[in-house]
Amino acid sequence: MFVNDERMILMSFAIDIETIPDLSMVDLLPPVSASRTLKDPAKIAADIEEKARKQKEAMSLDPLFAKIICIGVYNPHEKIALMGEENQILKDFWNVVGKHAQIITFNGRRFDLDVILKRGVKHGIGNFFLDRFLRDRGKSGRVIDIMDDFCLYGEFRSLDTLSKVYLGKQKKEIDFKLFPELLESEEGRNKIADYCLYDAQLTYELAQKLGYCINEY
């Protein structure tokens, strides 16, 4: 399902990623401490355990510590959920979208693309400082970030909210905390893939509805 670069120059893709904490990097996190108001040893231990749990969960939202488990790539001609080992996901992603495509995202500059770039460096795929996505910042139109545009006036709107308002659709439901468990079965992996790809589809359809200049090749 790969497409040559000549066609890629003319194509727009919406993307979405799903992540889990990279537990191999837990030791790099700063130590947590209990609230100073606590005196009881049991409560201190429980407080530290809870803070450590939340800190670990938050790794999935940190581009340095988030491990990619799925990338959804969508346009009317390509509907792909890339899964497997992270390094292979990243290689397949660049093979699919190429280096010249227009990328449509929802919070992509702050998260999706940032994670893709930083995790790519970890696996020796791409160059974080030279990649055009970091130089772009919306100037060339090669990266569209719908959330960025809606936050220009200080109001955050979620993908789910905008999809309900403009498309009459809503995001699928899934429990992110269950991702590690879902990855253990084919049914679970399919559920993650469907969720991720549908987010990419909503992002693409929003870009169409809102009048962005996209290439519907």
Domains of the chain: 5-20+71-209 (3.30.420.10)
Six-digit token pair at 70? 């799925």
Find, among 185, 206, 176, 138, the residue nearest to 18 by Cα.
176
Which one-letter amino acid corresponds to residue 41?
P
pLDDT of residue 136: 58
Positions of the chain with pLDDT under 50: 1-9
**Residue 103 near residue 133, CB atoms below 8 Å:** yes
Structure-token match 């403009």, residue found: 166
Phi, psi of 115 (to 5 degrees): -65, -45
Q: What is the DSSP string of 97-125?
A: HTTT-EEEESSIIIIIHHHHHHHHHHTT-
pLDDT of residue 14: 96
Sign for the pseudo-dihedral over CA of 107, 108, 109, 110: positive
pLDDT of residue 70: 98
pLDDT tens, 173-204?
A: 999 989 999 999 999 999 999 999 999 999 99
Which one-letter amino acid corresponds to residue 121?
V
pLDDT of residue 72: 97
pLDDT of residue 1: 33
pLDDT of residue 138: 53
pLDDT of residue 5: 42
pTM confidence score:
0.86
pLDDT of residue 3: 39
pLDDT of residue 2: 35
